[in-house]
Chain A
């Protein structure tokens, strides 16, 4: 019996979302009906690049790795085929992945290939006596929680990572993680869809993982109003995010949208400027630790979801804040 957790990688190592999924997997594994069960990470890529220390520190006790000789790059159905094979081989009780584009896609393929149900965007799961799991999952991108019963062996879940923090575990956690190479049996159908990564990877912080996000909404006034927000974000070591109206007006590209149909963010600070706080936007920023609002309207709905507010015009408040930050860094 194991809990398998798909771990995606980015340039720096295991993706932040996958560390959150590992924290979820460790909690599910610890709650096993017949006592705790081990968590095994599943990675795709060269075995000598497995970030063993980080995975061990986050609760994995072993790693299964599918090397490029067997499967090179991302092919969603092939990844699902490998997970299905590993689940059978290890007698996995649960298979989890972060609810990222790839995680959702691979788990949906795994559900389709095995005929098993998949519970997407889980935040909690506890095994019941009959082998089914009592789960809590997001609906409406987290605006609602659903309590549900999930059957299936293994139980397949994706994790709403904006609602589950990464967690390190006490224990050995020092490079001694056993790494098991795995060769999945693949057919042509499994390889019909494969990703080609293209150029344009930004070196800066991504919206999903930024520590500070400066948000801009209708109150910014138009495409020209974002330069001061960009400047502020850069002084705070963060990035700019925008509300849905800003992308549907074409003021900023859709990839900057924070919300149910955009990106879900988990910064330390979300500074929401000229954003009224439609429910679809709040679904994207509920994972922020602190929210500060700058808005002309003291009755804007977003104030009901924020820690602090400054009432005033952006064209006055933002340059003043930028000047104060510059002064502060000059005197430091």
Chain B
């Protein structure tokens, strides 16, 4: 501690001024002899004591104001040891790993808290005017506080809760940090990585190198001494033998530090709807175990979510929990009616479509597809379907058409595709009320492609993949309100419409190679999946577990007013319908368990869906990996002494004392 301008301390002599003024004022008071002095003395006895005390306090305050003002002008400083840079103004990016392994508690609190405290500590040593940014290393890596001289903003960002649940993405986080440093205002640039550098995560040493940037890495936490058991896989499926039962298969894995043994007292517990549904002991063999539990399948209107808990005292508690959906069907049930069946032939109407749908990633859209001939379609089969596809099917009989109408109006999806078997007049007559639009007629012969403009919310990649499609025949469709895709001549290729609580789509051409070469094009699969997702509604929510930080596309409710999401932590989120978007890109997945989705229509009826966010398996190995040693990092961590000026806080103190003096004086006068 020292003073930059010690001579200014001579001004402390001015602290005697209030005392002198006090004494002078005392002598200057006019004197008055009063015979009733005793009465006056009694009248002022109480207030006189208070006044004497307040006088003394005022005197002390005034002396303190002058003393601290002089002290602040003398520019005092303290010597601080800083870990980043040499105390000069600079730009620093803090990369904090918020992957799941950072949720481990090593006895000194969880690692993410330790990392935040360390970053705050380093942040506070930066001189005023320095720039700082905060980047999180959980996947996807993200900047939570851009590079700015507002160090308080960076501190606020660090103070916000950081659930460490994600996969690690430190390499990308470092890249983001370097991008921030590209806009740095100071030549002195540093990037400080705080992580446990667990074996499951880590950072590529080669990424820790950039011209003009000094890298510092610091491992947070001590090595784990216990094994970590984790839920390797959780799968629920309706029991084919007993439709009212759901089987849950749980695979437990372990990752142990050298010399540690996996605990044998683990248990699995399944809870849901406020009660324990099933439980079982876990017998670990060679670091693995499998448990099969059976629970009652909930009613369609009941909460389908269940919680799987691995009860064990291990290294990382955060990955001992997973969610599972106990639904009668674990995928969108698609009933495809084949209007031109030619078994084992490329000319079969569904030949390409069925093969393409087997390639749809489960994480994107889980499908359960059945195909039937038009003559074999039974009314009862509609009950077990979420989406019905009439692929080049002759117009159905009126009874089945009415059944179809009820199916769509009650929330089902209908996709009608073109072909030479589609009789426009007959379709309009029997299915007019449920079709997406009217079919004007059929046109064959002219070769036409798709227009470049496409609804981006329908096909995020745009026309790419459909650009080369040549169509020789098509249904001429009346323009509807929603036409996500059109032909180059302006006529609609796809028209969609909400009918009741359901959805109806009309595809102008065939889904085989009869009228177009669409099945040969790369855009065929995304287009088909997008149509099915649109038609399926909430049922199209991905059934494959996501991991925290993943984005999930949720279809908007049909004719609905809002989408409601009940998070595993009980928080309820509501999203009003955005008419421009067909899906909601939901990113707030930093919680483990079942996210229940409800699509609430204007009529107040709701359709349910759910998706699951489970801990990332690759973060289960929490044992410490090697600490990367960037070349430029040498010396950065060595603490150096710097002067931290104290004049600013002292001036604030003087200001506060002056305010207190003023307030006290006014109050004393009013008393």
Tell whether A and B belong to one assembly: no
Residues of chain B at the chain A interface (Cβ within 8 Å): none
Residues of chain A at the chain B interface (Cβ within 8 Å): none
